[in-house]
């Protein structure tokens, strides 16, 4: 089964980013992808705090979006349905309990356009290096729950786990998902932290969980001047990189199989050997 990671260089303009996401998803589908993942903040990045708060959506009541679904959720549901694919919607801003903050949320839609998973980013990024400084806790309300979900209509994947960007540094989160076959990680790693740790952490998560990893990233120089690391990639359960993009918008597609997962877990049964 072919899966794809979409890499973007999103701007603060939601409409333009949705059009670009649509173009890139079309490219992935044309290559045969049955599951496609978008990056963190695919609908907008680099916007002011006020603009990001203004772009927040209420989580739609209806599975797959209803009359109260905002434009980003409607786009995700409609695109999944139109192409008949599973679509992991990177992350988008949702309304939080605190009216001054947002939830950085990943929503997943099946091939009928039905929303089947929702994860709110748990670990909030904080980093200072020279003039570069980030503190997501100032504007984002964290989630509190690990999310892993079953996928009965996907032939080669029984269970998927979700994480967003900075979550990658906290391996306990992935243990809480249960035994997963595919880990999807939308991200917007900075160039400094990404160059140092991105590939290392992704491959470690694949090896220790003996699962495929699908990492969809922001990758390049954004209109606001921000530089994200990119290097979207697909990794197999042995830690081998099946495909990657360095910088720039594009898609990376790779073939995954349940047989490969079973081969790795049978030859080196670390999941059964765990003591804690």
Q: How does pLDDT run across 84-117, given as a tens digit for each residue?
A: 999 999 999 999 999 999 999 999 999 999 999 9
pTM, 2 dp: 0.95
Close Cβ partners of 143 (under 8 Å, ≥ 6 residues apart): 103, 105, 119, 120, 121, 122
Residue 15: helix, strand or coil by DSSP? helix
Residue 67 confidence (pLDDT) above 90: no
Q: Which of 40, 141, 156, 191 is catalytic?
A: 40
Q: In whole angstroms, what is the distance from residue 35 CA to residue 133 CA?
A: 34
Close Cβ partners of 193 (under 8 Å, ≥ 6 residues apart): 127, 229
Q: In whole angstroms, what is the distance from residue 274 CA to residue 243 CA?
A: 30
Residue 266 confidence (pLDDT) above 80: yes
Quick one: pLDDT at residue 63? Answer: 59
Q: Which of 20, 34, 156, 165 is catalytic?
A: 165
Residue 65 confidence (pLDDT) above 70: no
Say which residue the tokens 């994860």 belong to: 119
Quick one: pLDDT at residue 69? Answer: 74
Q: What is the CATH number of domain 2-273?
A: 3.60.110.10
Q: Could you read off the pLDDT of 139-160 as tens digits, one per residue?
A: 999 999 999 999 988 989 999 9
Q: What distance, in Å, lies between the first and last C-alpha atoms of the chain?
A: 33
Tokens representing residue 274 in the block: 């765990």
Helix (H) or strand (E) holding 122, with range, is: none
Helix (H) or strand (E) holding 188, with range, is: none
Across 250-271, average pLDDT: 96
Domain locations along the chain: 2-273
Quick one: pLDDT at residue 276? Answer: 84
- Per cent of the chain over pLDDT 90 is 86
Instruction: Choose between 154 and 212: higher pLDDT.
Output: 212
The per-residue b/e assignment along 75-101, b for 16 or more CB within 10 angstroms, e otherwise, is bbbbbbbebebbbbbbbbbbbbeeeeb
Q: Could you read off the pLDDT of 14-61 as tens digits, one per residue?
A: 999 999 999 999 999 999 999 999 999 999 998 888 899 999 999 997
Quick one: pLDDT at residue 61? Answer: 72
DSSP letter, residue 136: G
Quick one: pLDDT at residue 62? Answer: 57
Q: In whole angstroms, what is the distance from residue 242 CA to residue 127 CA?
A: 30
Q: In whole angstroms, what is the distance from residue 72 CA to residue 92 CA?
A: 8
Q: Which of 20, 34, 101, 121 is catalytic?
A: 121
Confidence of residue 120 (pLDDT cuts 50, 70, 90): very high
Q: Is 121 a catalytic residue?
A: yes
Q: Is 63 a catalytic residue?
A: no
Q: Is 57 a catalytic residue?
A: no
Say which residue the tokens 């303009």 belong to: 13
Quick one: pLDDT at residue 107? Answer: 98
């Amino acid at each position: 089964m072919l899966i794809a990671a979409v890499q973007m260089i999103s701007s603060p303009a939601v409409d333009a980013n949705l059009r670009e996401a649509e173009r890139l998803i079309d490219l992935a589908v044309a290559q045969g992808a049955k599951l496609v993942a978008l990056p963190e903040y695919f609908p907008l990045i680099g916007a002011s705090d006020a603009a990001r708060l203004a772009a927040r959506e209420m989580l739609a009541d209806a599975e797959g979006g209803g009359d109260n679904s905002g434009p980003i959720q409607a786009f995700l549901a409609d695109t999944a349905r139109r192409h008949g694919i599973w679509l992991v919607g990177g992350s988008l801003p949702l309304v939080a309990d605190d009216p001054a903050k947002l939830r950085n949320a990943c929503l997943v839609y099946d091939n009928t356009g039905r929303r089947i998973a929702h994860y709110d980013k748990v670990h909030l990024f904080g980093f200072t290096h020279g003039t570069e400084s980030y503190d997501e806790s100032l504007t984002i309300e964290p989630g509190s729950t690990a999310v892993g979900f079953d996928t009965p209509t996907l032939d080669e994947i029984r269970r998927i786990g979700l994480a967003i960007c900075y979550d990658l540094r906290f391996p306990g989160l992935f243990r809480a998902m249960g035994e997963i076959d595919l880990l999807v990680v939308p991200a917007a790693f900075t160039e400094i932290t990404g160059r140092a740790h991105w590939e290392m952490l992704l491959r470690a998560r694949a090896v220790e969980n003996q699962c495929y990893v699908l990492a969809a990233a922001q990758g390049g120089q954004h209109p606001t001047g921000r530089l994200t690391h990119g290097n979207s990639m697909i990794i197999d359960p042995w830690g081998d990189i099946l495909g990657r993009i360095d910088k720039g918008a594009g898609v990376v597609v790779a073939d995954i199989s349940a047989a490969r997962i079973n081969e790795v877990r049978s030859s080196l049964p670390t999941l059964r050997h765990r003591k804690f």
